[in-house]
Structures are given as C-alpha cells and as structure tokens.
Amino acid sequence: MKKTTLKLLNFLAYTLILFLACNFYAVTKIVGPGLVSGFGKESLSPAVLSALLLPLLLLYIWIHVFPIFFPLRPKSGQLKVCADGNGLLILFLSSSTLSVSFFLSGCLGALPLGTPVAEPGLWILNSLAAILLEALVFWNGIIRVYSSSIQLGIRIRVVGIVCGMIPVVHLIVLGIIIHTVAGEVAFENRKLLLNEGRSKETICATRYPLLLVHGVFFRDFRYFNYWGRIPEELEANGARVFYGNHQSAATVSDSGRELADRILQIVKETGCGKLNIIAHSKGGLDVRSALQLPGIAEHVASLTTVSTPHRGCEFADYLLTRISPKQQAVVARTYNAALKKLGDHQPDFLGAVKSLTASACLEFNKKTPDIPGVYYQSVGSSLSHAVGGRFPLNFTYVLAKHFDGANDGLVGYKSFPWGSGYRLLTVNGTRGISHGDMIDLNRENLPEFDVREFYVQLVADLKAQGF
C-alpha cells in the first residue's frame, strides 16, 4: 500500500512539474499578480521569474534523464530503457491533458486573466512553448520505447507511425503502446526476479547437455535464434546448450546423417558421453532417423519431440497430388536457390516436403523403431482459430483442419504423440498455442502460456529423471 501511494505521489509531482514548465509564461501571468498584490506590485519581477524558472527547467531536464516515477526499478538495462520511455509517454499524456484544459479554460474566460481577446499574444506564446516542451517529452519516450520494446512488434510500430497525426486515433494508439509496454516490463521483470531467486538451484543443469534441433526451412543463425529467447532462459537456469547446425531443407534420411555427425562431434569435443535432444517439427523425424545409424543411439540419453508430425500431414499429400510435377520443379528451383544463399550447401526442397507427407511417415515409422535405452517423449499444442496464428500459419491452419482435423496451424493432433510420455498443451481463451509459438518464433508474450518457463520445467524434469 505504501509503494502504491508513493508511486501515485511521484506521478502527480512529475505531472505538475511538467505542466508548470510547459505553461510557465501563462501561469506566472495569471497567478503572479495575485501573489504580489499584497506587496503593492502588479507583477512578478524579472529576478523572481528567473529564480522560479531556473529550478523548474532543471527539474524538467531531470525528468527527461530519470523519468521513472515509481520505486521499483527493472532488473535489466533494456527493461530500464523500456520502462523509462513508457513513463515519459504516460507523463506526456497527463501533463498535455492538463495543458490543453488550462488553455481551453483561459480561452473560455474561466481563468482570472479573462478572454483570449484581451490577451491573444499570451496564449499564442504559451501554446508554442507548451507544444515544444511536451513534444520533447513525447519523442524522448517514444524513441526509448521503439528502440527497446520487443512486444510492440512491427505491426504496432507501423500503426503508431501511420496514425501518429490522426486526431483522437493517435491517442488510442498511444494508449495501446503504453499498455503493451507496461505489460512487457512487468512480465519480463517477474521472470528476471524468478530466475534470480532460483539461480543457486540450477534447475536446468542436466547430467547431459542439451542439443536443440530445428525444423524444416530454418537454420541455426548466430544473430537470429530459431528457438527465440528459450536457450537464453535455459542457460540462465544452468543448462548447457548446443545446436544441430544442419541444413534447412533435406530429406529425413539426409538430415539424419548430418545430425549423426553433429552428435558425434559434440560428444568428442566435450567428452559428455550423451546428449538430451529436444527437436522441433521435422527435426524430431530427423533425430529418429539419426538414432538408427550405427554408434549414435549410445550417445543419446533422451529425445523430446515438439510439434513433430510423426504421422505426417495429409494436406501435404493432397497438395503434391494437385500440383503438377512441372510446377513442383519450378517451385523447388526457386526455394533451393534461396536456401543456398542462406547457407544450405545442397538444399532439397521437394525431398523435405515429401518427407512430411502422411504416406512417407507411414513407411518411415515401419522402418524406424524406438531404440532401447533412449527415453522418448513428445509435446504438441493446440491452435484454437486461424486468426490465432501468425502468417503463414493462419493460412495453413485451415488446410490442416480440413485434412488432419484439430491442429497447431500446421500439424494435426493425431500426429504429435510419440514415446512413453506425451503432453498436448492447451490454454483458455480463443487464441491457443501455434506451431511457431512452441519455439518462441515471434518473441511474443502470451498471457496464458509462458513458453520459456515451459522449457525450463521440461528440462528440469529431465534433470529430475537423471538425464
């Protein structure tokens, strides 16, 4: 309760300082005569005005540098910038509302000075100063927020730019920006405090390191992690993380051979003996294929497949029958050329797609039994509606639903289960959890599902089982 009161008092004080700084000229003209009338003077002297203005301007500058007006400071530099920027935007709204109300009251004759006809120059000069000083507060805030927020995304940023000059609409958009950033700061700060509180437990320090294996048409890039913010969260809780580093587009068997080499490389370089593998989408099939190769399974303690189409996607079979071989070849050449530029040395677009068909997976499962001694488990998720998925999952959701039934935007529920443990993740509400959400693809904080904490607990469970 005391913190809430302090926060409110700080906010009111900051708002008042900004209002007075922005409207100093008009306020002194209106209030000044009343203050000095008892001394037989008609107005404040220049010396008194300077004595009042200087500390006010210093406080105005202070707010620009240290704008946060509540006692809790975020635990990271990026969050501090984000919170400070949001604080400035909130102060801009409050102080500019006061400034506008003050201006209208003066124009309507509600203030002691009288009507604008009597003193038109006063309101013109005051308005110019107020607009300039308020604008500096706004731009300081919006630049900080735009440069540091993750949750605003491209869409809200673009809407903010486009609607910035539209009256009323720009206030609504500003409200959305403030609400989004405030939620982000609170959410991320809670996570930082959670990790700080359990840092000594190293709950993700498994006996064997983790190998994260990506899905089809993606690669492990240094500056854009396929797994979003998940690896950093795992490492913050004690995990040791490696990546598959295999091609983005290849048949399951070819990807399996690449991953087999990668497994042997990691084991040789680290001396870890075994690995815990977490594989997403097609990566789960690739790892299952790798485990069939000689000398590989003995170096794998567990395999957790996430959103993997173990029984294929029937809509992939349909599309391949509807598109002529000539058209398939044209599409394949286009994609293969692009994938080569992204780092694949020998991409095989069609081979990758055909590996994901229901018919191909049926044959694959017959030839790929589980290896004794390796712990298999699987995870799937539920997307409630097409609009819940980002492009292109909002499009593929409809196709997958028609052919495969309920799905995550790409893979049907019946295709997920594999191994001795299986979980289908669902949440309340209308959005659901998409195929991309399971790897934090869009770096989006979902209200009902914390994907980073899900992986922390998944790995903590592996540790508890001795892996």
Percent of the chain with pLDDT over 70: 92
Tokens of 198: 């359990």
Q: What is the pLDDT of residue 1?
A: 53
> Of 419 and 448, which is predicted with more confidence?
419
User: Does residue 324 register a pLDDT over 60?
Assistant: yes
Tokens of 351: 């081979």
Hey, what domains does the chain have and what are their CATH numbers? Answer: 2-195 (no CATH), 206-464 (3.40.50.1820)
Q: What are the residues whose beta carbons fall under 8 Å from the beta carbon of 384, sequence distance 6 or more?
A: 429, 430, 431, 432
User: Does residue 207 register a pLDDT over 60?
Assistant: yes
User: Does residue 123 register a pLDDT over 60?
Assistant: yes
Mean pLDDT of 407-427: 93
Mean pLDDT of 298-305: 98
For residue 74, is the peptide bond before it cis, meaning its omega torsion is within 30 degrees of 0?
no
User: Does residue 452 register a pLDDT over 50?
Assistant: yes
Percent of the chain with pLDDT over 90: 59
Residue among 99, 95, 79 at smallest CA distance from 189: 79
Q: What is the pLDDT of residue 197?
A: 92
Query: Starting from the edge strand earliest in sequence, which strands make up the sheet with 375-381, in order?
Result: 241-243, 210-213, 275-280, 300-306, 375-381, 421-425
Does the CA dihedral 243-248-252-257 come out positive or negative? negative
Among the listed ranges 11-20, 146-155, 285-294, which one has the minimum average pLDDT value? 11-20
Residue among 381, 8, 463 at smallest CA distance from 203: 463
Chain mean position to CA 47: 53
Mean pLDDT of 193-215: 95
Threshold 0.85, pTM exceeds: yes
DSSP letter at 271 equals: -
Q: Band the pLDDT of 36: cuts 50, 70, 90.
A: very low
pLDDT 10s digits, 54-85 = 888 899 999 998 886 555 567 788 899 999 99
Mean pLDDT, the chain, as a whole number? 88
User: Does residue 118 register a pLDDT over 60?
Assistant: no
Q: Band the pLDDT of 30: cuts 50, 70, 90.
A: confident
Q: What is the pLDDT of residue 236?
A: 94
Tokens of 242: 């490696």
Spatial contact of 408 and 215, defined as CB atoms under 8 Å apart: no
Mean pLDDT of 225-237: 96
Q: How many helices (H) and strands (E) does the chain have?
A: 16, 6
Phi, psi of 88 (to 5 degrees): -65, -40
Q: Band the pLDDT of 39: cuts 50, 70, 90.
A: very low
User: Does residue 33 register a pLDDT over 70?
Assistant: no
Among the listed ranges 188-197, 337-346, 348-357, which one has the minimum average pLDDT value? 337-346
